[in-house]
Structure 1
């Protein structure tokens, strides 16, 4: 009589789990609380296996990035018990416990970790090859599970460790959940090579994650596409990670431009980027892109992992060379399980039909071109929702699409106009607008892996928006950001720069935020809102401070107007503003975004300068005879006339516009853009050096041709840019020395030159200056309205010269009023454009909750 499977002795175990002890005293697990050696880990794993007994049972383990969860999981594998690994949050534990009736449940209970035996033996027939049960990445908590064998786990771990070149000295941070096949493959492949795991459940958006990363001397971490969005927001490109050796990307398509950018970032930083492709049904990985090909073939998923192979299965209505990608290899699952009786089944599949449409390039690299299973037939027309998502992304709109029987559901994040989006999508794919339903959402629902949860999205699209929950501690800050930046899609993972903040909104934001927090951390504008300090609540008031750049802008505009009246004579304010403009250009336009996004931000900045300027000058052309068409078109410095008395009023704006256009043209060159990212301080210092050729008129051009101020004074803008990039003491000293050496003699007015040099010194050495609450509020208004005050004061003070104080107050008041009107018109204009994201004041990057 053939014995039941549950009576077989527990002789099967995954080799890399069975052999943990052979790595001896090497570090196996590193946490914020200490380190476990392989010998210690092996001892704890064996103890966990003994607690489960020798009789094979189905063990449900709640996945978590903790030592208890890891030991429980490895202990079950060591004892030969099939493991049902489930996420620890949400309804998955209860759903799968009810569906599969596990014999043992291991997981958190209260403040501890418990093993609960539901019976002594097993209620199931368990196939001898069965080692692990996982939900597919798109159906967490679904009763449909992937059945994986001991050989699947071992061979895939060895293949991954082989092509990544994992060493026993490597240390991998658990940046993804343990229950997710990608996160689990990191554990398997590193344990197979005797490398260490740095266990944490922190997100890459959390500063504590990076503190642990450095302290543990971690060498690698894994990310899904959403992880890389978060890395952009936390300033990963500027982090010092001396031990980082490689970064892996999988779990969805990483945009080619982002692949190129991170591959280049890795080349400069001395680490490799591995782009990978996989599915739970293949244990984890099926293909990888060699790092040296990432920059030249960013759209490819690469070559099969060692031991695997691909072929194409024909698909109707596809062009030649495109078919469904089919994978074969020792890591292909045994098959699916949909009910407990399936646990007794052996292998039911030999190949994996991935559901992805693919082609093989002439160089042998494989490319994914679409998803077969997501195609929908709507009103007789075949629609690819993935292509619709790509279309909207190209317009700066974050969306997820689902096909139904008679309509396409488009869930859109942010303030998109549903009617205009519906027309855009309908015209692109050939559907009537009535067949496209646009559903605005606050954030796309995501699985713990960071992928869009399409099942939840479908339910979300058919139900009214939920009632907002009670305010959390960070909600006040989100509301403040939303109010200042006029956004409705603010989440704690956003930063000021993510939300399209610029030098104008920065002024109001910094002052109001400082009022709430009591103190602003350095570089707060690039920090996620959730990473900012907790708002002050009734504690002792800290000394107030004001951002130096804000203080200088407010002071400069007062000095400009006051000197023109003249109420006093303290000139140099406009040239100081030119330096501050360079400082803010580096902070708000030169982000870690792609070159295209950077240029879009510069264009948006130019729009915010040019439109209100031209509107004001046009109005003055109608009511006065002070200006000419050359003034209206900001071309006076180029075409004259040279005898004009009032057209020089706007020299500063002309100079700033020309400089921004010129710098944008430079950075549109890919090589220069890459050089700026690689040498963020050296480039502006080099440009400042070139600018000094015209400042000192080395070639005599100014004397002969009367060069525009933009050319002569450009070095001040470039030095301000360098001041923002001066992160080290010697760099700050260099900027200060350059200003002190080159500004004197430019005007021939010692007081004017001293003002500009002093402004540079403050920018470089003092992020903030001591202040008072009322002063902060006044400075916020003045600095935020400085452009508009400069524009309008020429038509105010000449009529009030006999009352200089009144002239100053009236000039400032009119400029502030024009700023408010211009901002209101700008918001209206942004709301009524045909394509969302058109607003120059907004950068539509949207973040949901980070994967844990």
Structure 2
């Protein structure tokens, strides 16, 4: 490893090769030894060149980003950590500090943008890292950390966690976050392993990774524990788990005690930790045996560190002051500060604290106006400044769960709240804005911040009745629980239940989505896997977008918001496709290919709704969905068989492709339903096989791509499949599945490439191919589409009833094919919608009757929906 002259590299990064063949990194199916990692890091360090330069890194949880990080640490190049994903925050830091090299992330890789061969900066020899303080991402203010501080803090963490080479940590936090970075540093210091992933703990694939890679630990912020509750973590069998760490904000003492007790029962430890970026990460930890009896405490200083309490004038409290080798060199606010040496020997934390008789420290308040939300420190003064820049007079307060601001005047604040959340880098749900006639003030004229914080604990109607009446009339009073009970025909919905766990599928998704939007004001992304307790209405005070925002851009957005509403792309595609299918069949206009887009969309929805739970739960859910496809379709086909001579018994039993005449005939009209049922039945059988079930859980993205590859063998005349005139379409279904399983830009890019290679050559009509390709790429890359508000409900209705329109329009076809084509299309759509309304009611009644029979002991095979089919 080449280290810059007169500059000390960080030891753990420079000495990777000392651990030889032991696994350092596992990513996907690949394992990389310390020896291999050292070679990769060494090659990257050589690419930086001989001159010491300032490097900026978009720090994602990828092997390439990790390589750049370690190469800079090992060779002594100061590293400026940028937030992942690029964007305005990254560009602001690049503009402010003018790095010599920028390592940009894209398609799962890092690309070096070498801007000059020699640095234009005066870089202090000890400078190793420049990291944004929590919540200041994009601000020019950075924390300057030395290599010695990084090394010391990694060693301290490894000591109190008792890390050893046999440990494996899953990367549940981003590398750009000092907490996530500390996990990486401390494990590589001792020769332990890292399971590199960006999967969330709510993803079943994450827990498959934990089991397959024998993960011994993962890091959590307070919100992580809410997610763990959602996925039933307390009932999981995780024999390799040794400990969980928690930092990034205060975890409620009752949650600390609850999880500490759970750990004692299940054989793992909970380490509650306290830290700041200014201390390289960690300053204190609570010994696991104290978590049950002292859950309020932050514990004791990390090895090598020390606390002292300094009285604060005017307060009956003391500020917590930390000293140790991991304290920062100081702050940087401009490039000239990079030449400055150590300015700080003690860190004044801004937290008020006390020490108990047992020696444990406890935080009792904050000296400065900061709150910490999902691990990000938010400056409440900055909140007020941002609102002032929007022309609003406001005062802000908050807690570790919410920023609350009182805004003077009559404003509709939805756009303001969204903009504020974006600027602060916190979830939209963590911002609560309230319109008030005037800001509450104390007798001395200063804002009454406790009164402002109290706004989040009282309804708007108690504070400003006229505003509540004005903004609350548009929403339904239905709750998410009532909507799920109605749409899914289930009872006793629990707070932890989700749409998917209750048996929801693509057929009921649209109806639930539309009703939730009316009830909640907006539907969050991924609502179908969110617990009922989190699906709550947008506060009425957040209301509509404000016409008072001063910029013309804000006014244009407001106008667009009034004219258009965004809907999920899958919903829009279903509505558009069924209109195009019916119109093409009646020759109203000719636009083929949308049925194949629906086949890809069916695969996309299969991945979203059919793959959670155990093998038995999956099978029951899949069989129920197949039944909801088959029953209404077979009824229509049976009627057509009785009334016309166009169909045979093989149509009624959905076996025309196997038993009917070869080629395209009138009997092939129901090909879409038939092929879709065959695919779903085949997958239900396949995934019921334990080995296939495990393979899909281990390779959630690769599994559907393998299925697509098998089906595409017909392109090379290796196999011949008997689908009538359409050719095999499992590969399209599988591509849709892979699209839903794609977790990052790289995976979506691979799926895009496969679509570009396979779709155009699979259909003789180039216009049909183009329609299928564009529809698929829109589904893959664009999550929502703008729809005129006047068409919002009709779009949702057509999407919900698309299957019923498809099967019934063939009954209408012989009656109206020679008449007015526009009327025929409208009549077909109307009949399909009417059949959907009648059929869904009939099936719901049948399911209720069968559940009653099931409760009385017959039939035993029917899953109980009251238990959520879990």
What TM-score do the two structures reach when normalised by structure 2?
0.50
Equivalent in the alignment of 2:256: 259
Equivalent in the alignment of 1:359: 354
2:318 to 316, 323, 335: 323
Equivalent in the alignment of 1:348: 343
1:498 to 531, 550, 575: 531
- Asked if 1:241 corresponds to 2:245, the answer is no
Change beyond 3 A, Cα 1:285–1:403: farther
Cα deviation, 1:24-58, whole Å, max 9, x if unaligned, reads: 00000011131000000001111111111221100
1:194 to 191, 196, 201: 191
Q: How far apart, CA to CA, are the structure 2 residues paired with 1:161 and 1:434?
A: 41
Equivalent pair of 1:52/1:79 in contact (CA under 8 Å): no
Matching of residues 106-505 of structure 1 within 5 Å: 106-109=103-106, 112-319=109-316, 322-374=317-369, 389=399, 399-401=402-404, 413=429, 436=452, 477=509, 480=512, 483=515, 486-488=519-521, 491-492=524-525, 498-500=531-533
Equivalent pair of 1:414/1:440 in contact (CA under 8 Å): no
SS in 2 for 1:349: coil
Equivalent pair of 1:422/1:437 in contact (CA under 8 Å): no
Could you tell me how far 1:404 is from its partner in structure 2?
9.0
2:19 to 7, 23, 44: 23
Q: How far apart, CA to CA, are the structure 2 residues paired with 1:68 and 1:130?
A: 23
SS in 2 for 1:330: coil
Equivalent pair of 1:21/1:38 in contact (CA under 8 Å): yes
Matching of residues 352-751 of structure 1 within 5 Å: 352-374=347-369, 389=399, 399-401=402-404, 413=429, 436=452, 477=509, 480=512, 483=515, 486-488=519-521, 491-492=524-525, 498-500=531-533, 542-543=629-630
Could you tell me how far 1:399 is from its partner in structure 2?
3.5
Change beyond 3 A, Cα 1:210–1:483: same
SS in 2 for 1:114: strand
Kindly report the root-mean-square deviation, in angstroms, between the aligned alpha carbons of the 2 structures. 4.8
Q: How far apart, CA to CA, are the structure 1 residues paired with 2:367 and 2:38?
A: 44
Q: List 4+ stretches of structure 1 deviating above 6 A.
A: 375-378, 383-386, 403-407, 409-412, 414-426, 430-435, 437-441, 473-476, 515-520, 522-525, 780-786
2:96 to 93, 96, 99: 99
Q: Which runs of 5+ in 2 are unaligned?
A: 371-379, 385-393, 418-427, 458-470, 473-504, 536-601, 615-620, 633-838, 854-870
SS in 2 for 1:141: coil
Change beyond 3 A, Cα 1:340–1:404: farther
1:82 to 75, 78, 84: 78
Equivalent pair of 1:83/1:131 in contact (CA under 8 Å): yes
- Asked if 1:52 corresponds to 2:48, the answer is yes
Could you tell me how far 1:195 is from its partner in structure 2?
0.1
Q: How far apart, CA to CA, are the structure 2 residues paired with 1:12 and 1:316?
A: 42
SS in 1 for 2:24: strand
Equivalent pair of 2:97/2:335 in contact (CA under 8 Å): yes
Could you tell me how far 1:317 is from its partner in structure 2?
3.8
Equivalent pair of 1:62/1:106 in contact (CA under 8 Å): yes
Equivalent pair of 1:172/1:221 in contact (CA under 8 Å): yes
Could you tell me how far 1:216 is from its partner in structure 2?
0.9
Change beyond 3 A, Cα 1:265–1:128: same
Could you tell me how far 1:113 is from its partner in structure 2?
2.6
Cα deviation, 1:636-665, whole Å, max 9, x if unaligned, reads: xxxxxxxxxxxxxxxxxxxxxxxxxxxxxx
Equivalent in the alignment of 1:778: 845
Could you tell me how far 1:324 is from its partner in structure 2?
1.3
Q: How far apart, CA to CA, are the structure 1 residues paired with 2:13 and 2:113?
A: 23
Could you tell me how far 1:356 is from its partner in structure 2?
1.0
How many residues get paired?
A: 490
Equivalent pair of 2:440/2:451 in contact (CA under 8 Å): no
Could you tell me how far 1:425 is from its partner in structure 2?
13
Could you tell me how far 1:251 is from its partner in structure 2?
0.4
- Asked if 1:12 corresponds to 2:79, the answer is no
Could you tell me how far 1:297 is from its partner in structure 2?
0.6
Q: Which runs of 5+ in 1 are unaligned?
A: 1-6, 391-397, 442-463, 466-472, 503-514, 526-531, 546-771, 787-852
Could you tell me how far 1:520 is from its partner in structure 2?
6.7
Change beyond 3 A, Cα 1:371–1:290: same
Q: How far apart, CA to CA, are the structure 1 residues paired with 2:441 and 2:846?
A: 45
Q: How far apart, CA to CA, are the structure 2 residues paired with 1:436 and 1:478?
A: 39
Could you tell me how far 1:268 is from its partner in structure 2?
1.2
Could you tell me how far 1:111 is from its partner in structure 2?
6.5
SS in 2 for 1:301: coil
Q: How far apart, CA to CA, are the structure 1 residues paired with 2:258 and 2:453?
A: 35
Change beyond 3 A, Cα 1:405–1:139: farther
Could you tell me how far 1:220 is from its partner in structure 2?
0.4
Structure with larger RCO (C-alpha < 8 A, sep 6+): 1
Q: How far apart, CA to CA, are the structure 1 residues paired with 2:409 and 2:323?
A: 37
Q: How far apart, CA to CA, are the structure 2 residues paired with 1:198 and 1:433?
A: 44
Change beyond 3 A, Cα 1:17–1:312: same
Could you tell me how far 1:139 is from its partner in structure 2?
0.7
Equivalent in the alignment of 1:564: none
